[in-house]
A and B are shown apart, each in its own frame.
Chain A
Amino acid sequence: MNTKYVIAAIVAIVVILGSIAAYVYLSAPGTTETVMLNGSGATFPYPLLNEIITQYVHNIKPNVQVNYQAIGSGGGISDLKNKNVDFAGSDAPLTATESADIPNALHIPETIGAVTVTYNLPGVSSGLKLTGQVLADIFQGTITKWNDPAIQNLNPDVTLPSQSIATVHRSDGSGTTFIFTSYLSKVSTSWSTAVGQGKSVAWPVGIGSNGNAGVASTVAGNQYSIGYVELAYALENDMTMAAIANPSGHYILPTLESTTAAAQAGAATLPAGDASWTGVDLLNMDNAEAYPIVSFTYLLVYKELNVLPNMTQEKATALVQFLWYIVHDGQDLGPDLEYAPLPSNVVQLNEATIQSITFNGQTLSAT
């Protein structure tokens, strides 16, 4: 090899390492001891959580460092069970089996997600009206044409083509699929008998695409297709969205407001933070304004923090204060990133939950 290149490479490496060292040195938080909080789990809330962490670390507590690895809800739950992390993120509440594995886990709703139904129909913009049963029939392959009377009757003013419907679903296991199939199971007996709910299910028909981006691209690229994506993704990318009928018979477009409305309606029946949340959902809420395909995403923490190795009084306090920040000021960061903020009654529930966290039996100051 040419000596000139070797020298250039060495100089480049020295410069890079030097700037990293300088950055680390300059950003070191003075003399205060740094407290490190670790979490892992769901990918859905990651953009919001990442923004909250950045704000918190830069503006509120420079001596706290928070790592969140977006490895998926399943991974987060197993990390919490093995006590590898201080908190976990999950799109679904713990199942009965998981609750038995992680005794005394607290559920803290962190933000609200919704699943939107998107479609590619030339000449038809957002607002196609669909009911849960029709949606289930489309994804089950029993309604096969766009101008099927079941769809046409809901949309008398729309000219629907006599084309086959191509359904698009997520091919990877995902919380989005879990919420969508849970909704279909709830509103359609034929769906719950034949398919059921899960992070991935045995789809009777359709194309599988990877991630929100894959589904969006497949729907965008193929006329007469229909798929489902997560709300924040759909809003950011200006996708067409169907208005779905809620129990009061209103057709509701997915928005941050109609999502929060569902959470507000559901909050009345939520269990306490330390009770079992198995089976809790925000689907098909009985509120005229509420969008029907909505779900919380949760932060999971141990109620008594001394079960975690390396837990200290200082770290426990930092964790409690960080959680407090997420459910209060952190919520203000949501709308800019297309995340629906928690309604006040859920925030109150979270306050009680966070205040019940202890370290060696002592409660911790949350503010």
Chain B
Amino acid sequence: MMKKEICKILSRTEIAADIYELIVQAELVREITAPGQFVHIRVSNHWDPLLRRPISISSYNPISKQMTLIYRKDGKGTQMLSEMRAGMELDILGPLGNGFPVDEVSAGETAVLVGGGIGVPPLYELSKQLTAKGVKVIHVLGFQTVAAVFYEQQFEKYGKTFIATVDGTYGTKGFVTDVLKNIQFDCLYACGPVPMLRALQQGYPDQKVFLSLEERMGCGIGACFACVCKEKDDPSGTSYKKVCTDGPVFRAGEVLI
């Protein structure tokens, strides 16, 4: 059950160029049901910037009621969020959406987790939960450049971690799809930019693939119809899914991307 709550910031750290990690304490953490869910944050009590910011949950602990949020400073809202300090309060709505289905792989099977840029964070909790149930996990994480790379050591704890950078300043030069060519898996989970998700959807038509989509959102709760996408193979052309409430995670092939 989602909640709107004034939460306390425990820490805020810049972990890569313009990438920030925010740890918050909140009752709503106990409501999180799956990795890949997100929260909708109001960055100020004023009405400018107006809309909330959807931010993915990168890890959570229902016992300590803490969650870690990782975001990129990329505009007015996230700029303000990057200036928040420990001890400050934050208006958070969540948890929202449906996360990654952890049950789709069994102990002993191999899952590959593919992240692109600011799509990497939710895979961290997913990796944690998959390894806890005995799934072998491989990470393939793509970034623009070496300065943007984050969480490599954290992911290494749970499984082999490959890094690709577009400019070749770290790891493999190129895209995550270049690294993936040599990897066998039973299930693939991905979060990142649309071209990456599209390539994965087309590249593995016969395998179990789950994709977390990103779209500009209004309300985040399914009321405004800003973040809809079309269902695949729909002759009427009017059936749709909402990224905020039906997603953000979809089985590859479920929606047009």
Say if A and B assemble together: no
